[in-house]
Amino acid sequence: MSIKMMHHVCIQTSKYKESLEFYTKILGFKVVMETANFHGRDFNTWLRLDTFMIELQTAKKGDKLNNWSSLNEGIVHMCFLVDNVQEEFHRIQKLGYTNFKVKNGKEIYKVENGYLFKIKAPEGTEIEIRDMPI
């Protein structure tokens, strides 16, 4: 196989400033390059966390984006591995972000040999945070 690694995920948003703040201030991505007026889009921005990148972009002018739904085909969520789910959950809460998914009345829940929680980004992307590798 000639594939070396996963390079990036592209996320479109109509809430660009909120999404940019979420990925940088809440999840810790760094802005690599922000380009205004990119091929008919207000912004196209590259974000990096270690070797993983997100291409965050606005819709092309005149296009209206559909709301995110877990019923769509294709990628349903992204997952990031942390050392301690409870510590990461509390760190995010202390930053004032509260858009967590609730399952069976709980925001943090046990699965297999560890714990996880899910958080919604401003544009709707569901992000899983877990503390056990597969």
Per-residue pLDDT reduced to its tens digit, 109-131: 999 889 999 999 999 999 999 99
Residue 3 lies in a domain: no
Parts of the chain with a pLDDT under 70: none
**How many structural domains comprise the chain?**
2
Asked whether residue 72 is domain-assigned, the answer is no
> Tens of pLDDT along 21-36?
999 999 999 999 999 9
Same domain, 93 and 123: yes
- Do 46 and 82 fall within a single domain? no
47-75 residues labelled b (16+ CB within 10 A) or e (exposed): beeeeebbbbbbeeeeeeeeebeeeeeee
